[in-house]
Amino acid sequence: MGPIIGMSPDKKAESPGVVEDRAGLRGVCGTLPEDECAASPLATSLDRSSSSGDEELTNLNWLHENLLQNFTLGGPEAQSSPSPLFDIEGNHGASVISSTAAHAGDSVKSKPPFSFSLLIYMAIEQSPSKSLPVKDIYGWILEHFPYFSSAPTGWKNSVRHNLSLNKCFRKVERGLGKVNGKGSLWCVDPEYRPNLIQALKKQHFPSTHSFCTPPASPPSAFSTARHLFLQGCSLKESDIDAATAMMLLNSAPGHHSDPCDPDSPIDLSRPDSVLVSSDPKQDHNYSSSSFQRCSSRSSSSSSSSLSSLDEAGCDSGQGRRTGSEGFHSDEDSEEERNPRLPSLTVKCPLPVKRARHESKPELDEELKEAAGSLLHLAGIRSGLDLSKRTAKSKKPEKQRK
C-alpha cells in the first residue's frame, strides 16, 4: 500500500521554503536538548532533505538512521523496556514518536511520509494525557510538519475526517452530557494501537519477513528501522498471533484498561492489549489490505481464533462507518447494529467475544465489572444499561438530504 508512504508527495510537495523548514526544525528541536539539537541527526536530515528534494519522501533512510540513533540515545533501558512506545512513565514512546515525527517533519518541507492516521496517532501518543482535542492535533502536526502550515486548509478537514472515520481514534467527551459540543478529546483506541504500529512498521515495506527476521545485512533501511521499532514495542507478528490466542484463552475483562485513561497504559506485552489480526479477512484494523499484502502469507494461524473473535462482535462498539478507510471488517454490519457508543463506554474486547468460552452469567458479571470500572474512571455513573446507552448514543438521526 504505497499511499501511506507515498502520500502523493508530488501533489503539493513543493512549497514551504527553507525558512519554513528551519522553523519546523526549531519546533522539532523543542523536543530535544539544545546541544542534542545542535548535533542532532535532524540537522543532517534536514540538510539532506533540503538538498535532495522531494524524491526523498519515499526514501526512508532518514527514518532508519534517525530511529537507529534514537534507539541508541534511548540507551539500554530504552531498549530493554518492554514497550517503550507505550511506556508512559518512561515516555520513551513519546520520544520515539517525537523523534520520528520530528525527523519526518523536518526532513521534508513537503508532505510527511505518514498518513493522516499516523500523524494523528503520533500527536495523541505524544500528549501527556494520551488524548488531544482536534485543535491540539492540528497544532502538533503543524509544529512537527511545517509543511502543513503552508498547505491548504483542507488538511484539517482530512484530520477530522480521519478522526471520525478511523476506528483507531475514539472521541472522549470532555464533560458529561457534552455529547456533540466542540472540543472533544480524541484518543487512540488501544485495540488498534498495535495496528497503527504495524502500519508504521509495515509502511513502505511489503516484506514482513524482513522485519521478523532481521538479516545480518539489512535488506533495506526501513526494514531495519521497523525491526528496531518493533523491538522497542515488543510487538512482533508472532507475538501478535500469540497474543491473540492468549487473549482468547486468558483474557479477563478486568484487564482491559481504560483506553483513554493515561493512568492505565496499554501494555503491548500483555496479550489482552493486543488484538490484532494478521488475517486479512478478519483484520478490521489499520491498513488491513496492506497487512494482507504484507503478512497474510505469514500468518494464517491466527485467523481462526480471530474469526471467532470477530464473530462474537468485538468491536469498538462505536459503529463507525468504515467507508473507504482502512478498517474494513466482516462485521461491519455488526457495527451498524451496534451504533457508536459514547466514548468511554466499555469497549470491547469483551465478553461477547468470549461467549463461546465462558458461561453467560459469569460473563455478564465480568462485563458489568469492567464496564463499571471504566465508567467510574470516566466519572460516569455506572448504571450499566448497555442497551439504553447504545440507544442514547445513537446520534439523533440526521436528516440528510
Partner DNA sequence: CTGAGGATAAACACGA
Partner DNA sequence: GTCGTGTTTATCCTCA
CA dist 142 and 136 (Å) reads 9
Stretch that binds DNA, among 95-103, 224-232, 237-245, 321-329 (CB under 7 A): 321-329
In whole angstroms, how close is the CB of 318 to DNA at the nearest point? Answer: 8
Q: Which residues contact 83 (CB under 8 A, 6 or more apart)?
A: 93, 232, 233, 234, 235, 267, 268, 269
Q: Pick one of 163, 314, 341, 375: the residue that binds DNA (CB under 7 A).
A: 163
Residue 55's contacts (CB-CB under 8 Å, 6 or more residues apart) are none
Contact between 197 and DNA by CB under 7 A: the answer reads no
Residue 400, interface with DNA (CB under 7 A)? yes
Q: Is 11 in the site for DNA (CB under 7 A)?
A: yes
**Least Å from the CB of residue 43 to DNA:** 26
Contact between 157 and DNA (CB under 7 A)? yes
Task: Please identify, among the stretches 29-37, 239-247, 317-325, 378-386, the one whose residues bind DNA according to the rule CB under 7 A.
Answer: 317-325
How near is the Cβ of 289 to DNA at its closest, in Å?
Answer: 3
Among residues 17, 30, 183, 262, which is the contact residue for DNA, using CB under 7 A? 183
By CB under 7 A, is residue 30 in contact with DNA? no
Report, in Å, the least distance between residue 135 CB and DNA. 3
- State yes or no: residue 10 binds DNA (CB under 7 A): yes
Looking at 6, 82, 219, 372, which residue binds DNA (CB under 7 A)?
A: 6
Nearer to DNA, 129 or 164 (CB): 164
109 interacts with DNA by CB under 7 A: no
Whether residue 140 contacts residue 130, with contact meaning beta carbons closer than 8 Å, is answered with no
> Which of 3, 33, 75, 254: binder of DNA (CB under 7 A)?
3
Which CB sits closer to DNA, 182 or 360?
182
Q: Does 356 bind DNA (CB under 7 A)?
A: no
Contact call for residues 295 and 278 (beta carbons, < 8 A): yes
In whole angstroms, the minimum distance from the beta carbon of 231 to DNA comes to: 23
Taking the C-alpha atoms of residue 213 and residue 215, their distance in angstroms, rounded to an integer, is 6
d(CA 372, CA 384): 7
Q: Does 290 bind DNA (CB under 7 A)?
A: yes
SS (H, E, C) the chain: CHHHHHCCCCCCCCCCCHHHHHHHHHHHHCCCCHHHHHCCHHHHHHHHHHHHCHHHHHCCHHHHHHHHHHHHHHHHHHHHCCCHHHCCCCCHHHHHHHHHHHHHHHCCCCCCCCCHHHHHHHHHHHCCCCEEEHHHHHHHHHHHCCHHHHCCCHHHHHHHHHHHHCCCEEEECCCCCCCCCCCCEEEECCCCHHHHHHHHHHCCCCCHHHHHCCCCCCCCHHHHHHHHHHHHHCCCHHHHHHHHHHHHHHCCHHHCCCCCCCCCCCCCCCHHHCCCCCCCCCCCCCCHHHHHHHHCCCCCCCHHHHHHHHHCCCCCCCCCCCCCCCCCCCCHHHHHHCCCCCCCCCCCCCHHHHCCCCCHHHHHHHHHHHHHHHHHHHCCCCCCCHHHHHHHHCCCCCCCC
Of residues 331 through 350, those in contact with DNA by CB under 7 A are: 340
Rounded CA-CA distance 156/106 in Å is 20
CB of 358 to DNA, least distance (A): 31
Q: At its nearest, how many Å lie between DNA and the CB of residue 31?
A: 22
Q: Is residue 287 within the footprint of DNA (CB under 7 A)?
A: yes
Site string for DNA, 114-143 (x = CB under 7 A): xxxx---------------xxx--x-----
Q: Does the protein bind DNA through residue 161 (CB under 7 A)?
A: yes
Using rule CB under 7 A, residue 145 touches DNA: no
Q: Which is nearer to DNA, 92 or 111 (CB)?
A: 111
In angstroms, what is the minimal distance from the CB of 218 to DNA? Answer: 18
Number of residues that bind DNA (CB under 7 A): 61
Tell me the closest approach of the beta carbon of residue 157 to DNA, in angstroms: 5
Q: Which residues bind DNA (CB under 7 A)?
A: 1-4, 6-8, 10-12, 111, 114-117, 133-135, 138, 152, 154-155, 157-158, 160-165, 171, 178-184, 186, 199, 206, 286-290, 293, 320-321, 323-326, 328, 340, 395-396, 398-401
